[in-house]
Amino acid sequence: MGWAQTNKDKLASRKEEISKEIAKTKKLIKEYQGQQRSVTNEISLINDEIALREQLIQEYKADAGKIGENMIHNEKEIQQLHEKVDLIKKEYAEMVYNGYKHRGSYSKLAFILSSKDFYQAIRRVDFLRQYTEQRKFQLNEIYSASAEIQNIQGLLESQRSEKIILGQSEAAEKTEIALSKAEQEVKLKSLVAEESKLREIQKKQERERQQLKAKIQEIIKAEAEAERKRQEQIRKAELNRIAEEKRKAEEKRKQEIAAAGSGNKTDGSKTTTLPDPPKAAVESEILKIERAPETIAANQSFEKNKGALPWPVSAGAIQSKFGRHAHESIKGLEVNNNGVDFLTSANAEVKSVFSGKVTSVFNIPGAGYNVIVTHGTYKTVYSGLTNANVSVGSQVSSGQSLGTVMDSGEGYLLHFELWRINETGIGTPQNPELWIKRR
């Protein structure tokens, strides 16, 4: 029962979360409609609302399914209890009948007094006591089972009512989806007039994303070069240390030979020198320097949170997904996105999705400020900020504000990327949706 209640609580919590997200999205839709923003952004928000309502319907179905399973279990339990009560009643009736049938032949006292000896009398007393207790026990079993049947029947009625309400809620969500889809169709038809403008906006975004990509790769290359130089210094220092140890060992050997007066031995022994360590082997060994312990720890901590990272904005919808895909509103237009775009509200705070170090803050004219936070060998990129609240070298915590989303003129759009840097210093963009928490 505790397990069932826990699952029920989880389902209720999930439904509440989705309902809150729907309310936030509806508020955003009204905000964009009131400001007469780009229709394509309204369509993105409507799509998000539809997706959330479909999730909610799935939760209703899951909840109804669990209730249905519990109802079947309870109905079986009631049937078993009825069978148990019938059996106990039958046994009790037989016991009462037998007692009634022999009431004239034996009274309790006569039954005891007719014993052959004292020990048989004691046994008969004990038998009569057990007989009486058995009758009481059977009566209690009947009352208890009957009360349990009533409780389960009450629970069953409650579950039937709950299932009906869930069905009504599911139907209401389907109606809302139908209305949203109708509104979506109207918006899509109105896009024809805006198509050329939207294509220009998309081209501008593409140019800005290319600038951002080039800048990120430049930063990664510079950091990798700095790391290579650091490792080269370590390698040279290690080679110098080995050479110095060899020189000292050679000097010590010469001193020992001179002190022993054995520079020209007649026993055939030859003067030897210490062999040089294989240079390639030394260099190879030194170049295999492992990452710093703090980098390894940061990586492990970040990777453990894959799929559970918070959104970089408190409210919003994903307008453009990761990778190469067709534009959701403009036919024939393809989008290639290194991250995801979050459509959010005015003055929305942009928050770090994980603790880390700010390693870059820069501005792209017309596209706003960009902040890069490093988490071991991972980097999160926040692009399209009006301002930056942090500076290079700052340590930030998860959920800390980095700045606010700028107004692009068409809406409030945060471009978010996640990169992984390998051992050779090459960066690869990751799909942020695999890392952030599912809505």
Query: Does 334 or 133 have the greater pLDDT score?
Result: 334
pLDDT at 396 exceeding the cut of 90: yes
Q: Which residues contact 184 (CB under 8 A, 6 or more apart)?
A: 43, 46, 47, 50
Distance CA 166, CA 56 (A): 11
Q: Which of 342, 335, 381, 338 is nearest to 362 (CA)?
A: 381
Any idea where the domains of the chain sit in the sequence? 2-197, 296-434
Strand partners, 419: 379, 429
pLDDT at 288 exceeding the cut of 70: no
Distance CA 179, CA 439 (A): 22
Kind of pairing, strands 340-344 and 334-337?
unpaired
Q: What are the φ and ψ backbone dihedral angles of 305, each rounded to 5 degrees?
A: -95, 15
- Specify the pLDDT at position 76: 78
CATH architecture of 296-434: Distorted Sandwich (2.70)
CA distances from 45 to 24, 184, 186 (A): 10, 10, 14
DSSP 81-110: HHHHHHHHHHHHHHHHHHHHHTTTT--HHH
- Which of the residue ranges 65-79, 80-94, 208-222, 383-397 would you say has the lowest mean pLDDT? 80-94
Q: What is the mean pLDDT of the chain?
A: 76
Distance CA 363, CA 385 (A): 9
- Specify the pLDDT at position 3: 45
3-state secondary structure 180-191: HHHHHHHHHHHH
Q: Do domains 2-197 and 296-434 have the same CATH topology?
A: no
Class of domain 2-197: mainly alpha
The distance between the two most distant Cα atoms of the chain, rounded to a whole number of Å, is 135
Kind of pairing, strands 368-375 and 340-344?
unpaired
Distance CA 436, CA 439 (A): 9
DSSP 138-151: HHHHHHHHHHHHHH
Q: Which residues contact 112 (CB under 8 A, 6 or more apart)?
A: 121, 124, 125, 128
- Summarised one tens digit per residue, pLDDT across range 170-226 is 788 788 778 777 777 777 666 666 666 667 777 777 777 787 788 888 888 887 777
Query: Does 61 or 344 have the greater pLDDT score?
Result: 344
pLDDT category at 29 given cuts 50, 70, 90 is confident
- Specify the pLDDT at position 281: 43
Mean pLDDT of 293-311: 87
- Specify the pLDDT at position 400: 94
Q: What share of the chain is helix, strand, coil (3-state, %, to 5)?
A: 60, 15, 20
- Summarised one tens digit per residue, pLDDT across range 124-139 is 666 666 666 666 676 6
Q: Output the pTM of the full model.
A: 0.59
- Specify the pLDDT at position 354: 95
Question: What are the tokens at 231?
Answer: 């490792």
Q: Which of 421, 420, 422, 423 is nearest to 434 (CA)?
A: 420
- Specify the pLDDT at position 33: 65
- Specify the pLDDT at position 330: 66
pLDDT at 343 exceeding the cut of 70: yes
CA distances from 86 to 3, 141, 314, 391 (A): 31, 11, 61, 79
- Specify the pLDDT at position 312: 95
